Structure 1
Amino acid sequence: MSALLEPGMLVRHPDQADWGLGQVQSVVGARVTVNFEHAGKVVIDSNRISLVRDFGPVRP
Structure 2
Amino acid sequence: MSDNLNAMLEPGMLVQNPARPDWGTGQVQSNIGGRITVNFREMGKMVIDGSHVMLIPVFEA
Q: TM-score, normalised by structure 2?
A: 0.89
Query: By how many angstroms is 1:47 displaced?
Result: 0.3
Question: Quick one: distance in 2 between partners of 1:17 and 1:2?
Answer: 18
Q: State whether structure 2 residue 50 is matched by structure 1 residue 18.
A: no
Q: CA RMSD in A?
A: 0.8
| CA drift at 1:27 | 0.7
Where in structure 1 are there 5+ consecutive unaligned residues?
Answer: none
Aligned-residue identity in percent:
53
Q: Find the aligned partners of 2:6 and 2:34 in 1 and give their Cα distance.
A: 6
Equivalent in 41, 49, 58 of residue 54 of structure 1: 58
Offset of residue 18 of structure 1: 0.7
User: 4+ residue runs of structure 1 moved beyond 3 angstroms?
Assistant: none
Aligned pairs (5 A) from 1:30-45: 30-45=34-49
TM-score in terms of structure 1 length: 0.90
Tell which structure's C-alpha radius of gyration is larger: 1
Q: Which sections of structure 2, spanning at least 5 residues, go unmatched?
A: none
What is the rounded CA distance, in whole Å, between the counterparts of 1:8 and 1:14 in structure 2?
19
